[in-house]
Structure 1
Amino acid sequence: MGSQEVSSVDWQGKNVTVAGLGVSGIPAARALNERGARVTVVNDGDDDRARAQAAELEALGITVRLGDGATLPPSTDLVVTAPGWQPDKPLFLAAAEAGVPVWGDVELAWRLRGSGGRKPAPWLAVTGTNGKTTTVRMLASILEAAGLRTAAVGNIGVSLLDAVLGDQEYDVLAVELSSYQLHWAPSLRAHSAAVLNLAPDHLDWHGSMAAYAADKGRVYEGNTVACVYNAADPATEDLVREADVEEGCRAIGFTLGAPGPSQLGVVDGILVDRAFVANRHKQAQELAEVSDVHPPAPHNIANALAAAALARAFGVEAAAVRDGLRAFRPDAHRIEHIADIGEVAYVDDSKATNTHAAEASLAAYDSVVWIAGGLAKGAAFDALVTGAAKRLRGAVLMGADRALIREALTRHAPEVPVVDLERTDTGAMSEAVAQAAALARPGDTVLLAPACASMDMFTNYNKRGEAFADAVRARADESA
């Protein structure tokens, strides 16, 4: 099937295997079935939910195989996979051996954009280890403030297929892309894209930091206007240098310091653009004040600058950047202030599921009682603890890999008191909050920034954050 646009392909009778039920698999199966493909969905799981989803698809004439996601169905012409399926799964190895291409849901959406004769909306794409969702939602808010028809889609939880095939027409899409999605999206060519940062994450999936970075860097391939990078993270600029972009596409940096030419940055509490102005060597455009960003933590200012850079690359005026940032409020569990109790602030950053995110979160506060732990995903914690040691009043550790953090604290912050919680029941978070409160002093922040994934104790980071918020609110009620 090569690199041609799918919208020009005759799907009638094509044998397509869709790997995985869920947010991406079900829309992919439906879309391909509607275009006349013979669709077979394979799924590892065979639980009640999967059987209910299978019944809905089978009613449309789609074949579903539950409990067998390893075998490639005979005569498969194309595999479309959910982004989380690892590249070394037997299904993909069999596809490679048979010469069958493998696409992700993003690749399929990219190929199907413009179906039905509509003009396809340009994509402004965002990836990075941390900050993707916040930046994409900031970007969508800015685009809306500019009067553009837009949506925040992709890894943010809104299917790209639904966006490109739905009834709503868009002027531009703000697209969050994970490294998984980029791995399976070889044809994607964004209008402009940003890599916010790079730090070790998902190495169990990618196999190495180099492979992880290379997949992130795919977002720059074929960019037409701007490749936005983080001036404080040289690895992101390296990815720009390595990318094959359209002639005239520019490298645009963002920095928390004063910007140089072709950069956005901060001067005296003002977000400033020296990239998208008539004379970037002598001129600067004020975009917004730091106080327009919520919350104004350093890493969130960086997110705002990246969003502003992408919006400016699309031609958005400065006033819309300001208005969009003022209107934006972050999702729950992202440095979310829950309550003040006895002059101690309680902040939920359950979304800090890796060391890079936790580092940014800890840097936003002067004196912290840190609640951390969970599934480390192969991460090491020495650099995180070394950088945060002077800010730590104490630490409360929980979860499967808490010993790794405890050992790092012993090595690099031996004076910091540590509470090690062995319990993993539903009341564990309440005890963690109680222990943190006992360590805290007036002016401190009790910060849930786990630096780990949540699935050892919670369904997801949202549930972990909710447990923290519930425990804090219960404590606030008791002290009222």
Structure 2
Amino acid sequence: MTSPNLDALGRRDSWDGVRAVVAGFGVSGFAAADNLLFLGADVTALDETSSDEKAEKATLLETLGATIRLESGATDTLPDDVDLVVTSPGWKPSAPLLAQAAARGVPVWGEVELAWRLRDPDHAAPWLAVTGTNGKTTTVQMLDSILKAAGLRSAAVGNVGRPIVEAVMDPTPYDVFAVELSSFQLHYTHSMSAEAAAVLNVAEDHLDWYDGPEQFPERMARYAADKGRIYERVQRSCVYNVADPETQRMVEQADVIEGARAIGFTLGMPGIGMIGLVEDILADRAFIEERSGSAAELCTLADLHHGDSPPPHLVANALAAAALARSHGVSQEAVREGLRAFTPDGHRIAQVARADEITWVDDSKATNPHAAMSSLQAFESVVWVAGGLAKGARFDDLVQAISGRLRGVVLLGRDRQVIAEALSRHAPDVPVIDIGDSETGPAMARVVDAAARLARTGDTVLLAPGCASMDMFANYGARGDEFAAAVHQRLAGPST
């Protein structure tokens, strides 16, 4: 049987005869399988686990003609006669199904790649894409708020919100998409051409995803290379972080559409072609005609959610979102109104309580050292709650940078020893209490009790773990909720 020409297929073509395997049956896997089936493809979806929700969705697709296997061993072997594999983003290239596809020369796409190919040629909404180790979700949500303030039908999609293949197939077309992309998603994306794209920062995270004999520098290079793919074929603007030279290097090496510009964002005074800060004003020297000698006010620091003193990383996110929106032609007024309307999701430097002149803060979303550093640098004297799944990251640079701010440290989770060793090397005089990795409830109560013993007047007790949560918690949200509940229980005192 002759293999179909996949590059010639789009949303208006018949996919009849295309034999597609969908690897993983989570949110993005279901969206991919559902839409491939709608287009006429012969779909097989495979996953190692099941649940009531997955089983219900499987029954629906099986009724429409798909083959669904949700069981241990389902992904061990790639079926015969496969034309295409669409993988869920968390799957490593070394996974048996994907490794077999590579060995047989079967194309492997991510759900993002499939979505790009399924855009409506008559209403192909441009993509404003964001990646980076930290700040992606906040930046994309800020961007979406700005686009909506401009009166555009937009959606935050990709690694946040709605699966992008579902959004592009919506019968009611969108004007523009704010697209969050992880390194996992970018690894399997081959033809995307964003209108504008931003890499916010590049730091250690998810290095355990990159299997192989390579040491840290090589794995870090592979991770950065996947991030840099977002700039390939950019049409208008490559937005980079002036404070992170790696992001500028990515722009310089990218193969972009002729005429695309490099736009820097900075917490300092913006140069020509940049967006930055002039005292307390977010200022544009990139998208105005008279940029050689002046700047346009976009908003002030007081317009951001945290008021007059927003943390630096939140300001950086706002600058990046503004740069992407301005690349799309959004007005200064819409930038201001969109940022004023934006409210961050929970577990992002959220104050839990303040009592006895001690502030308790939940930044459970800080799941890698770079994010934890941004959080820690927002406070002068900190009792740091840290630990969990380190994902191959190191903590020496973080501890060196913030050791002078530490009143004490409370450690929990599977990889807490990695942090403990960094503390012993670079902050040996800082007191450390090791809680361990026992069950969540009792452990978090002990965390809060230990932090209370270390804290002094004026201190901040900060949950900024620098690690993922899944060793002890369902997700970072559950970890933050446990922390907040334990804080409130302690401050309420013993029940009577």
**Aligned match of 1:402:** 416
Compare 197-206 and 255-264 and name the one that shifted more: 197-206
Matches within 5 A, 1:56-95: 56-66=60-70, 67=72, 68-95=74-101
> Is the 8 Å Cα contact of residues 23 and 157 (structure 1) preserved in structure 2?
no
Matches within 5 A, 1:104-253: 104-114=110-120, 118-207=122-211, 208-253=219-264
Counterparts of 2:377 and 2:116 in 1: how far apart (Å)?
38
Q: Deviations over 1:387-415 (max 9, x none)?
A: 01011111100011111111111111112
> Is the 8 Å Cα contact of residues 35 and 166 (structure 2) preserved in structure 1?
no
Q: Deviations over 1:118-164 (max 9, x none)?
A: 41110000000000000000001111111111111110132111211
Letter of the aligned partner of 1:463 in structure 2?
A
Cα RMSD for the two superposed structures: 1.5
Are 2:447 and 1:436 equivalent residues in the alignment? no
Letter of the aligned partner of 1:444 in structure 2?
D
Q: Secondary structure at the match of 2:277?
A: strand
Counterparts of 2:132 and 2:84 in 1: how far apart (Å)?
29
Are 2:403 and 1:393 equivalent residues in the alignment? no
Q: Deviations over 1:358-390 (max 9, x none)?
A: 011101111111000001111111111110101
CA shift for structure 1 position 72: 1.1
> Is the 8 Å Cα contact of residues 199 and 356 (structure 1) preserved in structure 2?
yes
CA gap 1:285/1:479 in 2 versus in 1, 3 angstroms? farther
Q: Secondary structure at the match of 1:151?
A: strand
CA shift for structure 1 position 2: 5.1
> Is the 8 Å Cα contact of residues 373 and 452 (structure 1) preserved in structure 2?
yes
Give me the TM-score of the superposition, normalised by structure 1: 0.97
Tell me, which stretches of 5 or more residues in structure 1 are unaligned?
none
Q: Secondary structure at the match of 2:297?
A: strand
Letter of the aligned partner of 1:332 in structure 2?
G
Counterparts of 2:8 and 2:376 in 1: how far apart (Å)?
47
Give me the TM-score of the superposition, normalised by structure 2: 0.94
Counterparts of 1:288 and 1:479 in 2: how far apart (Å)?
47
CA shift for structure 1 position 319: 1.2
Q: Which of structure 1's runs of 4+ aligned residues deviate more than 6 A?
A: none
> Is the 8 Å Cα contact of residues 255 and 302 (structure 1) preserved in structure 2?
yes
Q: Deviations over 1:266-302 (max 9, x none)?
A: 1111111111110222120111111212231001100
Counterparts of 1:354 and 1:397 in 2: how far apart (Å)?
15
Counterparts of 2:63 and 2:299 in 1: how far apart (Å)?
53
Matches within 5 A, 1:280-299: 280-295=291-306, 296-299=310-313
Counterparts of 1:477 and 1:162 in 2: how far apart (Å)?
46
Letter of the aligned partner of 1:255 in structure 2?
T
Matches within 5 A, 1:461-480: 461-478=476-493
Counterparts of 2:359 and 2:172 in 1: how far apart (Å)?
43
CA shift for structure 1 position 473: 2.1
**Aligned match of 2:40:** 36
Letter of the aligned partner of 1:471 in structure 2?
A
Letter of the aligned partner of 2:460 in structure 1?
T
Counterparts of 1:437 and 1:422 in 2: how far apart (Å)?
17
> Is the 8 Å Cα contact of residues 139 and 311 (structure 1) preserved in structure 2?
yes
Counterparts of 2:275 and 2:48 in 1: how far apart (Å)?
46
Counterparts of 2:53 and 2:34 in 1: how far apart (Å)?
18
Tell me, which stretches of 5 or more residues in structure 2 are unaligned?
212-218
**Aligned match of 1:300:** 314
Q: Secondary structure at the match of 1:7?
A: coil
Q: Secondary structure at the match of 2:79?
A: coil
Matches within 5 A, 1:49-60: 50-60=54-64
**Aligned match of 1:279:** 290
Task: Percent identity, please.
Answer: 58
Counterparts of 1:291 and 1:472 in 2: how far apart (Å)?
29
> Is the 8 Å Cα contact of residues 275 and 282 (structure 2) preserved in structure 1?
yes
Q: Deviations over 1:440-462 (max 9, x none)?
A: 11211110000011011001111
CA shift for structure 1 position 350: 0.5
Letter of the aligned partner of 1:376 in structure 2?
A
